[in-house]
């Protein structure tokens, strides 16, 4: 499996995330001759981050990745993820269990979502970029379609989990640690940029969309699934109703009052904000819709399956689809690079 190039891999279009110049490589790092920045290779994964994950510092994240890799050698994906949460004090057991279940079911959700995407657009040939790959579910699902996929994430600790997922599945993916706002790739490198459940965690979503446009080839597409700010259901990350209707400057205080947890690092967009961001980034043929329910999501509804049928039917009618676009839990969005 390809995880990190041993030299400057021009087929990946690697470039300095700060000045976009070409990089040279050493056994343990990449270096930029123009701005003199150096980027380490940690556990075989290049680390091009310009700023750290808001949850943890750079060195702490690298050390946690090392400990997780060491403690879970030869373990299954589930055992590795459970070990991660065992190493993460302060997370209630019920919440950690929910996170583990989410990771283990993520591959099926991503595969089914790609089926939806494939049903409405051509499948591009060339490199794919999975932004916010997390535990690698979307990257692996894309790799099974024959695509060469680069998965990027701000969290080094999750990338070692993504590598384990790919190894166990016998798949080859490339993994890079970086910021979605500062992608370490040259212009017009990728045929598709895809992302599920990441945009709502980015403090500067417009810049993420602009970076996606920059690294896409002409007529390459972006495919996104993200939380809707104005969902009428509970916000999925904190399980609180009405968060999106609270002014952004007060959202953290509201969530902390309701749950005791913070909300500083969550920034979901509305359908209008998402469409505007894609347009300003330079995309054409923009589409923003209430997300289609995939099979695994429908299965969780159980006896409410009839409601899922009604929802899917409503998505096909102009007035109802407009209402759902404003209020559905998730949004699917796409655009084509000019």
- Whether 278 and 216 have beta carbons less than 8 Å apart is answered as no
Evaluate whether residue 257 is within a structural domain: no
Q: Would you say how long the chain is, in residues? A: 338
Structural element, H or E, at residue 143: helix 137-143
Above 70 in pLDDT, residue 5?
no
Where does the pLDDT of residue 9 fall: very low under 50, low under 70, confident under 90, or very high at 90 and above? low
Alpha carbons 221 and 285: distance in angstroms, whole number: 10
Quickly count: other Cβ atoms within 10 Å of residue 259's Cβ: 12
Alpha carbons 34 and 22: distance in angstroms, whole number: 8
Alpha carbons 154 and 34: distance in angstroms, whole number: 24
Which residues lie closer than 8 Å to 167 by C-beta, 6 or more apart? 1
Evaluate whether residue 255 is within a structural domain: no
In tens, the pLDDT along 71-129 reads: 999 999 999 999 999 999 888 888 889 899 999 999 999 999 999 999 999 888 899 99
Question: How many domains does one find in the chain?
Answer: 1
Q: Which domain holds residue 205?
A: 10-229+268-337
User: Any idea which of 2-11, 46-55, 57-66 has the lowest mean pLDDT?
Assistant: 2-11
Residue 61: CATH number of its domain: 3.40.50.150
Alpha carbons 272 and 92: distance in angstroms, whole number: 35
Evaluate whether residue 235 is within a structural domain: no
Alpha carbons 200 and 223: distance in angstroms, whole number: 14
Q: What is the DSSP string of 262-323?
A: --TT---B-HHHHHHHHHHHTEEEEEEEEPPPPHHHHHHHGGGHHHHHHHHHHTTSHHHHHH
Evaluate whether residue 55 is within a structural domain: yes
Where does the pLDDT of residue 7 fall: very low under 50, low under 70, confident under 90, or very high at 90 and above? very low
In tens, the pLDDT along 139-162 reads: 999 999 999 999 999 999 999 999
Greater confidence (90 vs 54) lies with: 54
Evaluate whether residue 239 is within a structural domain: no
Evaluate whether residue 225 is within a structural domain: yes
Evaluate whether residue 153 is within a structural domain: yes
The pLDDT, as a whole number, for residue 10 is 55
The pLDDT, as a whole number, for residue 307 is 85
In tens, the pLDDT along 286-314 reads: 999 999 999 988 887 777 778 888 999 99
Evaluate whether residue 272 is within a structural domain: yes
In tens, the pLDDT along 190-228 reads: 999 999 999 999 999 999 999 999 999 999 999 999 999
In tens, the pLDDT along 234-277 reads: 998 888 999 999 999 999 999 999 998 889 989 999 999 999 99
């Amino acid at each position: 499996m390809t995880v990190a190039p041993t030299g400057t891999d021009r087929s990946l279009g690697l470039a300095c995330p700060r000045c976009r110049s070409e990089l040279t490589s050493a056994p343990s790092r990449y270096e930029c001759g123009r701005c003199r920045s150096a980027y380490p290779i940690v556990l075989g994964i290049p680390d091009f981050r310009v700023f750290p994950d808001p949850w943890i510092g750079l060195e702490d994240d690298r050390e946690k990745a090392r400990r997780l890799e060491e403690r879970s050698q030869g373990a299954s994906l589930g055992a590795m993820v459970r070990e991660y949460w065992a190493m993460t004090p302060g997370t209630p057991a019920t919440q950690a269990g929910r996170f583990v279940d989410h990771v283990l079911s993520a591959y099926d959700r991503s595969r089914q979502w790609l089926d939806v995407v494939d049903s409405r657009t051509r499948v591009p040939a060339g490199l794919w970029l999975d932004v916010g790959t997390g535990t690698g579910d979307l990257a692996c699902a894309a790799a099974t379609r024959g695509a060469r996929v680069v998965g990027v994430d701000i969290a080094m600790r999750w990338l070692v989990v993504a590598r384990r997922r790919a190894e166990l599945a016998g798949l080859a993916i490339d993994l890079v640690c970086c910021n979605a706002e500062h992608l370490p790739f040259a212009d017009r490198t990728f045929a598709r940029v895809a992302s599920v459940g990441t945009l709502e965690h980015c403090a500067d979503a417009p810049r993420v969309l602009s970076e996606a446009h920059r690294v896409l080839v002409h007529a390459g597409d972006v495919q996104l699934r993200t939380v809707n700010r104005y969902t009428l259901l509970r916000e999925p990350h904190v399980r609180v109703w009405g968060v999106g209707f609270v002014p952004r400057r007060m959202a953290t205080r509201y969530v902390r009052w309701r749950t005791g947890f913070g909300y500083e690092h969550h920034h979901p967009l509305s359908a209008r904000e998402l469409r505007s961001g894609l347009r300003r980034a330079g995309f054409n043929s923009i589409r923003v819709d209430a997300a289609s329910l995939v099979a695994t999501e429908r299965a969780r509804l159980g006896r409410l399956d009839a409601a899922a049928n009604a929802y899917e039917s409503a998505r096909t009618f102009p007035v109802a689809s407009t209402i759902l676009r404003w209020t559905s839990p998730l949004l699917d969005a796409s655009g084509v690079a000019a």
